[in-house]
Amino acid sequence: MNIRPITVDDVDRVVAFFDRVPDGDRTFFKEPFAGADTVRAWLADGRSTRLLAFDGDAAGGDAVIGYAAVVAGVGWSSHVGELRLVVDPTQRRRGIGHALAKAALAAALAADLSKVVVEAIATQDATIALFAQLGFVPEALLEGHVRDAAGELRDLMVMALHGDDTWATLTTVGLDTTLD
């Protein structure tokens, strides 16, 4: 697997990736995805880092199998980044999400963010376990905060990884050089 920042050459591959994500999963996207226009807007957004995972060598034209973003806050939350993660449904349970999350944390560290948050539907046990394994802790449970594709309200779990001590630990284990 190869993980690297998104480039303009990836637009069609990213669109194809998101087209493979089932509608039920799209309900939980934080931001609407409108094809190539969305990807181009991401490329122009200087406050975020967006990463892609490829199965093999990305230069060989392989398909995107995962996506992660760290979107920095603004104003009084400019020290906080939100981590967003999507893995191809046919590729889940292979460690792709874990590898992308680690790479995204390295990007957050490089961007001098002192806190990273992630949001997950409270019943997404595997997602919550993944982030707990990386040191994220629950900060809030927002009841009935998300409406799914069927119109049902779902609880949203907000988890966070923060503090200079955490970043020092990540640097010590070499996470700050994950993308090098």
In 46-136, at which residue ranges do the beta strands (DSSP E only) sit?
48-54, 64-72, 80-87, 115-121
d(CA 99, CA 101): 5
Judge whether residue 7 has pLDDT over 70. yes
Number of domains into which the chain is organized: 1
The most confident of the ranges 33-42, 112-121, 146-155 is: 112-121
167, 109 contact by CB (below 8 A) = yes
pTM of the model: 0.83
What element of type H or E holds 171?
A: helix 164-172
Range 6-30 average pLDDT: 82
Segment 40-86, tens digit of pLDDT: 888 888 888 999 999 875 455 578 899 999 998 888 888 999 999 98
Does 160 have pLDDT greater than 90? yes
Per-residue pLDDT reduced to its tens digit, 110-130: 888 999 999 998 988 988 999
129: Cβ–Cβ under 8 A, 6 or more apart, which residues? none
Query: Quick one: average pLDDT of 141-166?
Result: 86
- CATH code, domain carrying 96: 3.40.630.30
Which residue pairs from 72-78 have beta carbons closer than 8 angstroms and sit at least 24 positions apart in sequence? 72/47, 72/48, 72/111, 72/113, 74/47
Range of the domain at 106: 2-177
Reported as a pLDDT band with limits 50, 70 and 90, residue 95 is confident
Q: What is the arithmetic mean of pLDDT over 8-23? A: 87
φ, ψ dihedrals at 143, nearest 5°: -75, 135
Q: Which pLDDT score is estimated for 36?
A: 87
Q: What is the mean pLDDT of residues 174-179?
A: 52
